[in-house]
Amino acid sequence: MTAALIAILSMTVLGLPITLAVDRRARGPLLVGASFLYGSGAIFLILLALSVVKLRWTLPEVTLAALAVFCAASILARRPATGKPQPAARAHVFDVVTLFALTGYALFATLASLWEWDFWAIWGLKARVFLEAGAIDWRFLGSRWNTFAHTDYPLLVPLNFDFVALLNGSWSDRWLGLLCVAWGVGAVLIVRGLAARETSPFFASLLGLALTSRAVSTFIGLAEGALIAFGGAAVLFVRAALRDDDDDAAWRHGALMLGFAANCKNEGLALLVAVTIAVAAVSWFRGGETSRLRRLGTAAKLWPAYALAAPWLLLRFTHVLPTDIAGGSPFSRLMARLPQVHEILAFLITRLHDPWFWIVILAGILIAPAAARRPERFVFLVTVIQLLVYVVAYLATPNDLHWHVNTSWSRLTAQAALPIAFVVFLMLANSLRGGQDAPHAQARPDE
Amino acid sequence: MLRRALLLITLLALLVVCIKPRMLQIVFTDREAAAREMNGSPDRLWPLYPRFLEGVRAHTQPGDTIAIIAPGMAWDSGYSYAYYRASYFLTGREVLPLVTPENEKLPQNFRAARYLAVFEMTVRMPAEIVWQGEGGTLLRPVWGTPPPAGRPSPSGGNAIAPDPEAQR
């Protein structure tokens, strides 16, 4: 357990100057949550880079590389803050209940050695193989007998497991669940910090409590938790950037988080595409004096996300790691299933995990005043595109469609839940408070 | 007024559907029983299998090729579990499957393996027993020697012929 805790603490300390370099104004829960996520992403990049330059992973080497990153980020973080000052979140009694819920999650995630099939057949397996090799084992990934381990999946999560193992001195899956807790806590802290900018401490804390269950994944040891954290944070930061007069720091946060999400799972890559399309679409239809073409260029602000996603895509391409969904002829499978699309959609609805959640989300969107709904088009669009991409993936799957849906649909919908729940909650809460848009609402008294 | 009531009801409904009582309840539940269940959940089918694989790991070296023989030898009747689980426990070695997900036999892997990890089965073929225990045997095949006459199978019908090709 000590190794996992030291790893989480080290990642948070490493991420602290990175967060401040991205946004000198970051404070409170947002600073802590973003620091852990950036630290987790930085450790992934360090291990990936060491592996690419063929340096065997050892604790001293990784520590030295992390120190170099820490120093570079600290120098960058010394730049003066730009943009409007952001208020830090004020604590509320509901935060205690959130803490209690997260404690419950931590107890669940650390009940036993990681038990999920996908952990020991995919995420944990790769981490363990790489640890023994002291680097990414391309021979293992290239072997036709190991395609079951989805060798094309990005490696942020396995390499984070490896960092814990390096600190531990050997492989142990007993306490790796703590990393899932840390990703979840990171997401909750960011959500809490962002909510505090837009509503009262009462509603911000209530939102934090409500969204705790959406920010964590019950699939312990899989990449879902990391993807929800990075992906959820990315969408919410880009939303903040679009709303808050193109806040540069929010763009940087959003793009970097999006890039790390793309390094968690292939769905993160899909999210990157969904966010780019949504940003372009929202910018296109946005009013203003600049030309539409110029506004379309707003999506270029996401370039750091593509820069972060590129190395793994390149490595995956050069090592010819196959993607199961693209195997054979996905287009012909898609065309063959297209006539049954209504049946497939009906099947997805019957298999929807947590249907009441989605019904309430839909009700919330319909009931909220149009003025509150309009600024949230970006998140609505991202969610719709994400769900569409999943449906297309099901149509093109080489696996038995029913099996594929049964084994993944609940996870996929959980990945999309955090940002949409955030905006629907805020729309409802702020409409109740009498103001559809309440930036910097912490300064206002509670009702 | 009606809209405010609807907004309030929807917000409360969102709270209700989002808050998971289980996250709070777990603090007060018997976690030892839950931990026991979780610990055993991956290996409910063959509880001894992880310990057998640990034994195989202890008696082989990194880089060794190991083929897995387990009851059923059909992908969806346990072989996928046996193969994936072995891959996790035997990292550093090359674990080879003997059947595909379509249940086609892979005789080339049988011949390519330096070791055969045989769990709850008996293999009738010339082989050196490297280690035995936890419900299984680790064999090093000796190719080019005729198979010994009818070794008894401890698990009834769970016997495999020397060359999977013969079972086609």
Question: How many domains is chain B partitioned into structurally?
Answer: 2
Record the tokens describing residue A174, joined without a space: 């007993």
Top residue of B20, B31, B85, B104 to mutate, by most chain A CBs within 10 Å, is B20
pLDDT for A40-79, tens place per residue?
999 999 999 999 999 999 999 999 999 999 999 999 988 8
Least confident residue range of A82-86, A379-383, B23-27: A82-86
CB pair distance less than 8 Å for A356 and B8: no
**Prediction ipTM score:** 0.88
Residues of chain A contacting B20 with CB distance shorter than 8 Å? 101, 213
A360 and B13 within 8 Å at the Cβ level: the answer is: yes
| B78/B157 same-domain check | yes
Residues B33 and B109 in one domain: no
SS (H, E, C) B6-63: HHHHHHHHHHHHHCCHHHHHHHHCCHHHHHHHHHHHHHCCCCCHHHHHHHHHHCCCCC
Cα gap A111→A350, rounded to integer Å: 31
For A271-291, the pLDDT digits (tens) are 999 999 999 999 888 776 777
Kindly state whether residues B81 and B35 are assigned to the same domain. Answer: no
Q: Which residues of B touch A206 (CB under 8 A)?
A: 15
* B26 shares its domain with B78: no
Residue B144 pLDDT > 70: no
Same domain, B62 and B112: yes
| pLDDT at B35 (0 to 100) | 87
What integer best gives the mean pLDDT of chain A? 91
Of B90, B83, B157, B100, residue with least CA distance to B124:
B157
Q: How many helices (H) and strands (E) does chain A have?
A: 21, 0
Indicate the DSSP class of residue B150: -
Chain A to chain B, count of Cβ pairs less than 8 Å apart? 118
Min Cα distance B91 → chain A (Å) is 5
For residues A390 and A401, what is the distance between their CA atoms, to the nearest angstrom?
Answer: 12
On whether both B120 and B52 belong to a single domain, the answer is yes
Percent of chain A with pLDDT over 90: 73
* pLDDT given for residue B23 in this prediction: 83
Q: Looking at the structure, tell me whether residues B33 and B65 fall in a common domain.
A: no
B25 lies in the same domain as B77: no
Give the pLDDT score at B157. Answer: 42
Are B36 and B83 contained in the same domain? no
- Rounded to whole angstroms, the Cα distance separating A77 from A71 reads 10
Asked whether the beta carbons of residue A149 and residue B87 sit closer than 8 angstroms, the reply is yes
Q: Which residues of B touch A125 (CB under 8 A)?
A: 84, 87-88, 91
B26 neighbourhood in chain A, CB within 8 Å: 104-105, 107-108
The CB-based long-range contact list for A53-61 (8 Å cut-off, 24+ gap) reads A54/A135, A55/A135, A56/A134, A56/A135, A57/A130, A57/A131, A57/A134, A57/A135, A57/A162, A57/A166, A58/A134, A58/A166, A59/A166, A59/A167
Q: How far is A45 from chain B (nearest CA, A)?
A: 23
In chain A, which residue's Cα lies nearest the Cα of B97? A145
**Which residues in chain B are contacts of A354 at CB distance < 8 A?**
17
What digits encode the pLDDT tens for the residues B118-129?
A: 998 888 888 889
Quote the pLDDT of residue A133: 94
Instruction: Choose from A145, A357, A373 for mutation: most chain B CBs within 10 A.
Output: A145
Average pLDDT over residues B126-140: 90
What are the distances in angstroms from CA B156 to CA B44, B71, B73, B81, B122? 21, 11, 15, 22, 9
Q: Kindly list the residues of chain B whose beta carbon comes within 8 Å of any beta carbon in chain A.
A: 3-4, 6-8, 10-11, 13-15, 17-20, 22-27, 31, 34-36, 38-39, 41-42, 62, 80, 83-85, 87-88, 91-92, 94-97, 109
Cβ <8 Å between B26 and A145: no
The whole-number average pLDDT for the span A385-391 is: 94
| CB–CB contact B10 A367 (8 Å) | yes
Specify the pLDDT at position A206: 95
Average of per-residue pLDDT across A392-418: 91
Is the pLDDT reported for residue A346 higher than 80?
Answer: yes
Give residue A306's pLDDT.
97
Does residue A251 carry a pLDDT above 50? yes
Task: Grade residue A436 by pLDDT with cuts at 50, 70 and 90.
Answer: very low
Summarize the confidence of residues A344-361 as an average pLDDT: 91
B80 and B34: one domain? no
> Lowest mean pLDDT: which of A299-308, B13-22, B38-47?
B38-47
pLDDT on residue B123: 84
Give the one of A128, A148, A356 whose C-beta lies nearest to B17's C-beta.
A356
Give percent above pLDDT 70 in chain A. 96
Distance from CA of B147 to the nearest CA of A (A): 29
Scanning every residue of chain A, which has its alpha carbon at the shortest distance from the alpha carbon of B41? A115
The minimum CA-CA distance between B150 and chain A, rounded to whole Å, is 32
CB B99 within 8 A of CB B75: yes
In which residue are the tokens 């005729």 written? B146
Q: Identify which has the larger pLDDT, A249 or B162.
A: A249
**CA dist., res. A333 & res. A283, Å (int):** 34
Say whether A111 and B34 touch across the interface (CB within 8 A): yes
- Residue pair A374/A437 in contact (Cβ under 8 Å)? The answer is no
Q: Do residues B55 and B27 both lie within one domain?
A: no
Q: For B66-125, write each residue's pLDDT tens digit.
A: 999 998 788 888 899 999 999 999 999 999 999 998 888 888 988 899 999 999 888 888
Q: Which residue of A has its CA nearest to B82?
A: A121
User: In sequence order, which residues have a C-beta less than 8 Å from that of residue B168 and are 6 or more positions away?
Assistant: B105
Structure-block tokens of residue A166: 């390096």
- Contact B18/A210, CB-based, under 8 Å? yes
pLDDT of residue A169: 93
Higher-pLDDT residue of A439 and A144 is A144
* DSSP string for residues in A34-64: HHHHHHHHHHHHHHHHHHHTTPPP-HHHHHH
What is the pLDDT at residue B160?
A: 56
Does the beta-carbon distance from A111 to B19 stay under 8 Å? Answer: no
Residue from the list A112, A213, A421 with its beta carbon closest to the beta carbon of B38: A112
What average pLDDT does range A210-239 have in this prediction? 95
Question: Are B10 and A364 an interchain contact pair (Cβ–Cβ within 8 Å)?
Answer: yes
Residues of A in contact with B97 (CB under 8 A): 145
Print the SS3 string covering A126-170: HHHHHHHHCCCCHHHHHCHHHHHHCCCCCCHHHHHHHHHHHHHCC
Q: Please tell me the predicted confidence (pLDDT) of residue A324.
A: 80
Do B12 and B68 belong to one domain? no
Radius of gyration, alpha carbons of chain A: 21
pLDDT at position A97, please? 92
Q: Which residues form the domain of B27?
A: 2-41
Chain A CB contacts of B32 under 8 Å are: none
Q: B136-141 and B115-119: which strand pairing? A: antiparallel
